[in-house]
Structure 1
């Protein structure tokens, strides 16, 4: 009887609140969550089809082994809309979907797949300043990291208090590279070096543009004893 009523409840919720892909509006399955299979697998352009060490043309600073984005950013397009939904509309399960897809893509990157199988390794979502976290209620980078960890369950996520953002920076959007670097300088601090000491650290964020934010975080973490850094993001601007 309980199973019967559960089926009725699910059926009614599907009518009142139909499960659709937030990207294309097609009907979705419970397993697909926020994005349908087509949008996850075929809609967007792979940012690094040749599996180079970096998906951008940016020169990687010393200590950063690789930088990989899942898809090329489409300014004013669908992917930008998805990033907006995640960051500002609290569609946090979308972040988990995107993180899972990012994790699956790394499985297909020979160098990164091999590197992430070597330990010790920790996942570090780019921290939010506590004021922004309190206002927003979540960190989108952490949600992406949760999805990523579903594919790589052997890699722990750093405790939220171990590495923090101590500078409440303004948004980097629209700033020149010089202003980005000045804006983000000395923005991070490591409170618990034992979480990263002698570890390879996988920094996770939503969008990679100039690298100013992730490079600053990487240098802070390296200075506190990390062995090497890998930067992973959903989008490559």
Structure 2
């Protein structure tokens, strides 16, 4: 699978693109470059809209293996006193409509490569705002759309921990960085953002 797609971060930089990382976000890493109209987009479409959830688990497993090979991320995750995997939460109305959270499936696959790290319970950190899709929005509009979208209902789940945020695609960082800010405000020590694709 690795040979089919372009590595988004071959130099193992702290960010897969030229994104400035907010305070407390140690790194942002994507597995592959998003290929509009290509095979990776097809796989993510199968996961999100055709409910082929095993695709998400397979992609997450590949992401987990790649993090083992990233010197900074591997060391950071291994040396963290406590860490938790946090898939980007889906609003309950979208969850009810879709029947699953694609980020959660990716996170499950990621956990197979990092079995000692627990997966955050879906009721502990929630999406309280049923946001519209961010596709086609400017950065300013994305930030407005996602502002105050998340809530930590059980602060002890994130307190003093390294939070590994997992999502499918990283575009501007509006969603994952808003979630990072929310968990940091609830006591998280630091955050890394991991995604399958970098758009």
State the TM-score, normalizing by the size of structure 1. Answer: 0.83
**Uncovered stretches (5+) of structure 1, i.e. residues with no partner:** 1-39
User: Following TM superposition, by how much is the alpha carbon of 1:81 offset from its aligned partner in structure 2, in angstroms?
Assistant: 1.1
Q: Which has the larger radius of gyration?
A: 1
Following the alignment from structure 1 to structure 2, what is the Cα–Cα distance between the partners of residues 108 and 75?
26
Does residue 224 of structure 1 match 2:199? no
Which residue matches 2:150?
188
Q: How does 1:128-147 map to 2 (within 5 A)?
A: 128-147=90-109
**Uncovered stretches (5+) of structure 2, i.e. residues with no partner:** none
Aligned-residue CA RMSD (Å)? 0.5
Which residue matches 1:7?
none
Which residue matches 1:13?
none
User: Following TM superposition, by how much is the alpha carbon of 1:56 offset from its aligned partner in structure 2, in angstroms?
Assistant: 1.4
Following the alignment from structure 1 to structure 2, what is the Cα–Cα distance between the partners of residues 89 and 186?
30
Which residue matches 1:172?
134
> For 2:9, what is the secondary structure of its paired residue?
coil
Q: Deviations over 1:94-114 (max 9, x none)?
A: 000000000000010000000
Which residue matches 2:198?
236
Q: Deviations over 1:35-90 (max 9, x none)?
A: xxxxx120000000000011011100000000000000011211111111100100
Which residue matches 1:42?
3
Following the alignment from structure 2 to structure 1, what is the Cα–Cα distance between the partners of residues 97 and 20?
34
Which residue matches 2:166?
204
- Aligned pair count reads 198
Q: How does 1:1-237 map to 2 (within 5 A)?
A: 40-118=1-79, 119-237=81-199
Q: Deviations over 1:127-160 (max 9, x none)?
A: 0000000000000000000000001001001111
Q: Deviations over 1:201-231 (max 9, x none)?
A: 0000000000000000000000000000000
> For 1:213, what is the secondary structure of its paired residue?
helix
Segments ≥4 residues shifted beyond 2 Å: none
State the TM-score, normalizing by the size of structure 2. Answer: 0.99
